[in-house]
Structure 1
Amino acid sequence: MTVKILYFASLKEALGCAGEDFVLPSGVSTIGELRTFLAGRGEPWNALGEGRNIRAARNQRMAAPADPVLPGDEIAFFPPVTGG
């Protein structure tokens, strides 16, 4: 199952990429599991790790860690953003 992952703002800078097409490994079926898997890649991916203030969206709607990841989804990770 393939999904598109996007990275924004300081997270994009830390990872050195704006996004990737990603084949989900077996056992990864939620936003939280995806984030944990990506953070497990090591440096610099630990920017997505536990305790980091990162938000997620699924198909351009805010998502919770327990939300499912489905084939063809667009998953975005980003730090909290404020307006001004």
Structure 2
Amino acid sequence: MQANIHPDYDYVIFHDTSANHSFLIRSTYKSDQTMQWHDGKHYPVCYLDTSSESHPFYTGKQSLVKSEGRIAKFNHRFGFTKSTGKEK
């Protein structure tokens, strides 16, 4: 490896502001802001809008697609069946 060409790789706190959840991992992210971690040390912090703690896909709180209801209403109104896709 050549010297002085790689970014610093150190611990950084990533804080999900919507879920108020933090996790400490190693990263090359740079920040002037710091936060105290559970071990009492201060680490640079990166604020996130969404992480696995708040994203609907990972929390299982996805809403059903509204178009699914519109399609069913259309098929019911015009007499289409699910199995054949043809009118009754």
Higher normalized helix content (fraction of residues) = 1
TM-score normalised by the chain length of structure 1: 0.22
Higher relative contact order at CA 8 Å, sep ≥6: structure 1 or structure 2?
1
